[in-house]
């Protein structure tokens, strides 16, 4: 049976002798100062001698780790995305001028309801187009007036005029009225920008009076408790070996649900999608970079250690410090 290894949780500071300035006439040259045998020292074999008082001063913590069959953990870089089923974008359908909604223009962080009118877009038309519409409206109203007078005359002669002529005249008058109403509404209508989902405003990109183009993004709405996490894996085989995943959020670890992997590479990496839910996600913002820890289905024999115990050596390799005696710490090789 292998003996348990004790793992140091924090980086050990390597104390070196600091040069001391002497008064004039008392400098004895560049001779090495004698070091105390009870102080922190780097040993020739790479280990570190660290007395108990120094350990307490540095806040060194140790734990007993046992070898076991464990899933392999992989750290991935990710970013926060909007949940397509709990968020949405509000875009202008036509080009025009922005006008405030019933509650004014919404601001970042403001809660909105599904179906709420956020703003209006007054369509922008060229002067010649508006002139043509106004002329068409005037023509239709004139035709409507003539048709109404004709209906009135025919009704006075109802005893001698066939009923079908009166009905045809009434139908013509109604047609003129409907066409005139449609043209008039087109001249004064506004396009309402409606919230597609309930949530909070993540981005408000307009002010009152601003002119926007068709398809321009005006508002972005998200549900802070439902987000998507996208991580990039440079090993495509990892997508079929994911057993679990967590999101590093400060000192907390938020469990993630694996949704799936893309089938095309992006910048030589495979995008992996994860689902995240919970009130703790309100600390995140769309587009924010995050760290994702993925646990594989296949297990390897090793020792589980806290993330805080992982250090980097001068070769940029991940290492931990192993406590061999009460005052000695060894630096093992690079970890996997």
Q: Within a 10 A sphere around the Cβ of 151, how many other Cβ atoms?
A: 20
Fold held by 87-222: OB fold (Dihydrolipoamide Acetyltransferase, E2P) (2.40.50)
pTM, to two decimals: 0.62
Which CATH class name applies to 71-84+224-298? mainly beta
Tell me the domain boundaries of the chain.
Answer: 5-19+35-65+305-330, 71-84+224-298, 87-222
Q: What is the residue-level pLDDT of the chain in tens, covering all 336 positions?
A: 344 444 444 333 333 333 444 455 555 544 444 445 567 777 777 777 878 887 788 777 787 878 888 888 888 999 999 999 999 999 999 899 999 999 999 999 999 999 999 999 988 876 667 677 777 878 888 888 888 888 888 888 777 778 888 888 888 888 888 888 877 766 667 889 999 999 999 999 899 999 999 999 999 999 998 999 999 999 988 999 999 999 988 878 899 999 999 989 988 999 999 999 888 888 899 999 999 999 998 888 887 777 777 778 777 778 787 877 766 666 665 555
Is residue 105 classed as helix, strand or coil in its secondary structure? coil
Rounded-to-integer distance, Cα 62 and Cα 54, Å = 14
Rounded-to-integer distance, Cα 98 and Cα 205, Å = 11
Rounded to a whole number of angstroms, the distance between the first and last alpha carbons of the chain is: 23
**Residue linked to tokens 């995050």:** 290
Read off φ and ψ for residue 259, nearest 5 degrees: -95, -50
Give the DSSP letter of residue 227: E
| Per-residue tokens: 213 | 């183009």
Rounded-to-integer distance, Cα 41 and Cα 35, Å = 9
The answer to whether 47 touches 330, Cβ cutoff 8 Å, is: yes
Element (H, E) at 274: strand 270-277
Identify any residues that bridge with 25 across adjacent strands, giving them in sequence order. Answer: none
Chain-centre distance of CA 199, in angstroms? 14
């Amino acid at each position: 049976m292998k003996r348990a290894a004790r793992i140091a949780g924090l980086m050990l500071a390597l104390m070196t002798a600091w040069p001391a300035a002497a008064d004039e006439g008392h400098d004895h040259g560049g001779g090495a100062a004698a070091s105390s045998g009870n102080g922190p020292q780097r040993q020739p074999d790479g280990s570190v001698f660290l007395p108990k008082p120094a350990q307490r001063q540095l806040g060194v913590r140790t734990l007993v780790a046992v070898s076991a069959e464990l899933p392999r953990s992989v750290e991935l870089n990710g970013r926060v995305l909007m949940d397509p089923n709990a968020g949405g974008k509000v875009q202008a359908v036509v080009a025009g001028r922005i006008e405030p909604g019933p509650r004014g223009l919404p601001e970042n962080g403001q809660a909105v309801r599904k179906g709420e009118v956020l703003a209006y877009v007054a369509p922008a038309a060229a002067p010649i187009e508006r002139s043509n519409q106004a002329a068409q409206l005037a023509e239709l109203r004139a035709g409507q007036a003539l048709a109404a007078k004709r209906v009135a005359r025919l009704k006075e002669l109802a005893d001698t005029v066939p009923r079908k002529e009166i009905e045809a005249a009434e139908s013509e008058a109604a047609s003129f009225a409907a066409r005139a109403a449609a043209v008039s509404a087109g001249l004064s209508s506004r396009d309402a920008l409606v919230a597609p989902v309930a949530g909070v405003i993540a981005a408000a990109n307009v002010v009152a009076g601003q002119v926007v183009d068709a398809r321009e993004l005006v508002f972005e709405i998200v549900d802070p408790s439902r987000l998507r996490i996208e991580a990039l894996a440079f090993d495509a085989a990892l997508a079929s070996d994911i057993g679990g995943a967590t999101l590093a959020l400060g000192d907390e670890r938020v469990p993630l649900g694996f949704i799936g992997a893309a089938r095309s590479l992006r910048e030589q990496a495979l995008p992996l999608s994860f689902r995240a839910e919970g009130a703790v996600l309100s600390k995140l913002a769309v587009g924010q970079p995050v760290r994702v820890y993925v646990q594989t289905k296949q297990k390897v024999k090793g020792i589980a250690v806290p993330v805080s115990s992982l250090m980097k050596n001068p070769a940029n390799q991940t290492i931990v410090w192993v406590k061999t005696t009460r005052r000695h710490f060894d630096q093992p090789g690079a970890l996997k």
